Amino acid sequence: MKKIIVLGGTGFVGAHVCEKLVRQGWHVTVPTRRRSNAQSVQHLPGLTVRELDVHDAAALQDAVAGHDALVNLVAILHGTQAEFERVHVALSHTIAHACAVAGVAQVVQISALGADALQPQTLPSMYLRSKSEGEAVLMQAAVGAGATDRKGFDLSILRPSVIFGEQDKFLNVFAKLQKLLPVLPLAGAGARFQPVWVEDVANAVVRCLEGACDQPSPRIIEAVGPEVFTLKQLVQLSGQLAGIAGGFGRTVIGLPMWAGRLQATLMGLAPGEPVMSHDNLDSMKVDNVASGKHPGLASLGITPSALQPIAQDYLSRA
């Protein structure tokens, strides 16, 4: 039985990935700081939960030893420059070293649509720049760059657009806001997205590990759905599918950038994770749609799923 370690395996996407890997016969290890965080996956047969901090280089190296493959889903959407660099860049260095020492054969990195490992500093947000720099670290390690006594590994980088699915923090959040507010002011209303179903992303991870894509390593795959929406259209659709206001949803008013930044500032003062941050607005300066420069899910034998019938099923029950 092949062994795989999944970083971020307790999260929204990670839980789906772990479930599919177990079904395919993998023995899965999921590291987490607290075992209680792993309630969504610890019941899966053949899955082991290990308590550790993945940012601790020695602890991660010890955990990676003996595994054939690694999947990294660890990411943040909000934070400071230092936090983005720690999670997206420094962790990539730690992963690259741990995999080289352990002789891991395959790595799948979940990145982000809009990332550019060749020109990260041209991108508008800390999120996209740090995601790109993390890609570059792993790409260099994959080909053995800078290593004299260690070989590289097979690397697949998945760049998804916004990911939707039951328990997502995207459509569900906007639907809940419309239950509370009579009118929804929206920053970045014209930004374009190509939403992808979480099950399609999870299947893509498995297919990468199976060697389904004939592109050489390191390979980049753009994981997107079949339809392009503006953010305003997605917010309106979330309200309609949730049955709010008799199925019409609330009125959504697009805000100019200055007002959007004011809104983001006010949201940042509230407790918990903000719905929209200044860095999110910066990311939306570039459309979150497939570039066409890299293969898509079809290269893995996956037909991307349409958003509406799936979202209607879970939003109508929320």
Which domains does the chain carry?
3-162+196-223 (3.40.50.720), 164-194+227-288+304-315 (3.90.25)
Give me the phi and psi of 49, to 5 degrees please.
-100, 130
The lowest-confidence range among 212-221, 232-241, 269-278 is 269-278
pLDDT class for 270, splitting at 50, 70, 90? confident
| Tokens encoding 139 | 């790409």
Q: What is the reported pTM? A: 0.95
pLDDT class for 171, splitting at 50, 70, 90? very high
Residues 6+ apart with CB under 8 A from 97: 57, 61, 141
Tokens 């659709």 correspond to what residue?
Answer: 237
Reported as a single tens digit per residue, the pLDDT across 28-48 is 999 999 999 999 999 999 999
Q: What gap in Å lies between CA 183 and CA 191, rounded to an integer?
A: 19
Residues 6+ apart with CB under 8 A from 134: 88, 89, 91, 92, 109, 111
- Quote the pLDDT of residue 150: 61
Q: What gap in Å lies between CA 93 and CA 153, rounded to an integer?
A: 14
In contact, 175 and 311? CB cutoff 8 Å: no
Q: Which long-range contacts (CB under 8 A, 24 or more apart) does 142-148 make?
A: 142/107, 142/217, 142/218, 143/218, 147/100
Residues 6+ apart with CB under 8 A from 115: 123, 128, 131, 132, 135, 159
Reported as a single tens digit per residue, the pLDDT across 91-117 is 999 999 999 999 999 999 999 999 999
Q: Quick one: which of 77, 63, 45 has its CA closest to 7?
A: 63
CA distance readout (Å), 29 to 35, 39, 280: 12, 14, 32
What region does 25 belong to: left with phi over 0, alpha with psi -120 to 50, or beta? left
Helices of type H across 42-170: 57-64, 81-84, 91-102, 126-142
Q: What gap in Å lies between CA 104 and CA 98, rounded to an integer?
A: 8
With a cut of 70, say whether residue 307 has pLDDT above it.
Answer: yes
| Tokens encoding 34 | 């607290």
Reported as a single tens digit per residue, the pLDDT across 217-245 is 999 999 999 999 999 999 999 999 999 99
Average pLDDT for 263-270: 83
In contact, 187 and 261? CB cutoff 8 Å: yes
| Tokens encoding 272 | 């918990």
Q: Give yes or no for a cis peptide into 256 (omega within 30° of 0).
A: no
In contact, 217 and 154? CB cutoff 8 Å: yes
